[in-house]
Amino acid sequence: MVMGIVKISDTLHEEVRKTSAVMERSINAQAEFWLKIGRLAEQNPSLTYEQILALEMRAQAVTSVRLEHEPVAD
């Protein structure tokens, strides 16, 4: 794996840091996840976020469970 430095704004870094804590990923892993999903979304504009995740899960033979839930208010 090649390691490199990517410069991002302090604001975006703070959002990555906060999200990484919630998702229990390292800051680098969270940023890499967002980069990967963003790249896939750009290359496949007709797919939703959920479809992209489902395809990635299927590619890794991960079985998923759909839960019934109430919408969360903002």
The string of pLDDT tens digits covering residues 49-61 is: 999 998 998 899 8
Query: Is residue 55 assigned to a domain?
Result: yes
Give CA–CA dist 25/61, Å, rounded.
Answer: 21
Query: Is residue 49 assigned to a domain?
Result: yes
Query: Is residue 4 assigned to a domain?
Result: no
Find the domain containing 38 and state its range.
Answer: 11-59
Query: Is residue 20 assigned to a domain?
Result: yes
Q: What is the pLDDT of residues 14-64, one digit of tens each?
A: 999 999 999 999 999 999 999 999 999 999 999 999 999 989 988 998 887
Query: Is residue 37 assigned to a domain?
Result: yes
- Number of separate domains in the chain: 1
Query: Is residue 3 assigned to a domain?
Result: no
Query: Is residue 64 assigned to a domain?
Result: no
Give CA–CA dist 21/19, Å, rounded.
Answer: 5
| Cα angle for residues 13, 28, 64 (degrees, 5° grid) | 110
Query: Is residue 47 assigned to a domain?
Result: yes
